[in-house]
């Protein structure tokens, strides 16, 4: 009964935005440095740590601790650890011994969206021998959110007991190539849905992804992201699950959220927010296609291995929950 009341409570109380600069509704987060505990709906504790620190302050940056991890902070955002991985040479086991350990016979195919353009990306379609749910994963709509599309690249090799999985990673290939949020210039893919085949680059790739989701008609969409902003007056979206409309996945969503808070999955508690901002894939597929979407936000101040681990943990939990693993 309590779990059934939570969606109603959240729908009345949550008016949050998603992932970085927002055009959607906002609420006020706790000031940073803050005193709220990690796992609350405000920002986690960020305290300056002048003693016994392993980091040294840099010009324009101070050392803070967020979620038990020391990092550099400029008063608005944290400094991401400068670590790039050769993700296509890595395996699930590089991020945790319990990821996708059982293998199943599957058929795999791939196809291109916006072929021949700077936004060209690949969709990998994995089909199990037995019918079941269909899930569509969009990873790396913002190209500099590397743990999101790293996880997506790994998911391209998953096997399934039942159902089908579609994975596009990175969704923003040009942004990933240039390590930028945007497709080109200041074109934000996650404010461009449903897009247009006659629009700018972001609108064209947004429309291609949107139309592919419309064609596939999945049970749900995963939208993998990361957050870097930590400041007063902005929502802290690190370690967050975001929804606009849950529909039939409400039990999955809240059981997954509780699993993070019980320590069953992920490195720390995740919190819940929503709806996704106007023009985001989360908001658009939920409202215009009637397909529920979950946006996963990890925090870019944490080590890259931890972030990829948490992205994979959440997707694996969902695949098991609906019987695909």
Tell me the per-residue pLDDT of 139-197, one tens digit each, with 9 for 90 and over.
999 999 999 999 999 999 999 999 999 999 999 999 999 999 999 999 999 999 999 99
Question: What single-letter DSSP state applies at residue 78?
Answer: B
Residue 128 lies in a domain: yes
Q: List Cβ<8 Å contacts ≥24 apart for 50-53.
A: none
ω into 31 cis (within 30 of 0): no
pLDDT in tens, 84-108: 899 999 999 999 999 999 999 999 9
The string of pLDDT tens digits covering residues 181-215 is 999 999 999 999 999 999 999 999 999 999 999 99
The verdict on residue 226 lying in a domain is yes
Range of the domain at 119: 87-321
Angle at 292 between CA 287 and CA 296, to 5 degrees: 115
The pairing of beta strand 240-242 with beta strand 271-273: parallel
CA diameter of the chain:
57
* Rounded Cα–Cα distance for residues 239 and 59 (Å): 28
Pick the closest to residue 272 from 14, 35, 21, 20 (CA basis).
Answer: 14
The CATH number given to whatever domain includes residue 118 is 3.40.630.10
8 in a domain, yes or no?
Answer: no
* pTM for this predicted structure: 0.87
Q: How many domains does the chain have?
A: 1
């Amino acid at each position: 009964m309590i779990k059934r009341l939570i969606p109603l409570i959240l729908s009345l109380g949550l008016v949050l935005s998603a992932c970085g600069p927002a055009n959607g509704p906002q609420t006020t987060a706790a000031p940073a440095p803050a005193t709220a505990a990690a796992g609350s709906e405000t920002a986690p504790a960020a305290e300056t740590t002048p003693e016994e620190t392993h980091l040294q302050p840099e010009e324009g940056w101070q050392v803070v601790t967020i979620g038990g991890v020391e990092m550099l902070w400029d008063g608005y955002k944290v400094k991401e650890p400068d670590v790039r991985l050769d993700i296509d040479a890595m395996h699930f086991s590089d991020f945790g011994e319990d990821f996708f350990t059982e293998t199943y016979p599957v058929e795999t195919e791939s196809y291109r969206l916006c072929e021949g353009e700077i936004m060209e990306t690949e969709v990998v379609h994995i089909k199990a021998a037995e019918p079941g749910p269909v899930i569509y994963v969009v990873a790396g709509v913002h190209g500099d959110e590397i743990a999101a599309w790293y996880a997506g690249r790994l998911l391209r090799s998953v096997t399934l007991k039942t159902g089908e999985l579609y994975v596009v990673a990175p969704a923003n290939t040009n942004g990933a190539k240039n390590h930028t949020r945007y497709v080109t210039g200041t074109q934000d893919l996650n404010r461009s849905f449903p897009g247009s085949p006659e629009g700018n680059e972001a609108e064209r790739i947004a429309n291609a992804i949107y139309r592919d989701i419309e064609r596939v008609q999945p049970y749900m969409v995963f939208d993998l992201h990361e957050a870097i902003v930590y400041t007063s007056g902005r929502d802290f979206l690190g370690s967050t699950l975001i929804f606009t409309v849950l529909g039939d996945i409400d039990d999955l969503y809240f059981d997954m959220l509780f699993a993070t808070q019980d320590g069953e999955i992920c490195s720390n508690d995740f919190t819940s927010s929503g709806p996704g901002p106007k023009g985001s894939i989360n908001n658009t597929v939920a409202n215009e296609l009637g397909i529920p979407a979950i946006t996963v936000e990890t925090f870019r101040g944490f080590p890259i291995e931890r972030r990829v681990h948490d992205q994979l943990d959440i997707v694996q939990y969902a695949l098991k929950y609906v019987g695909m693993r």
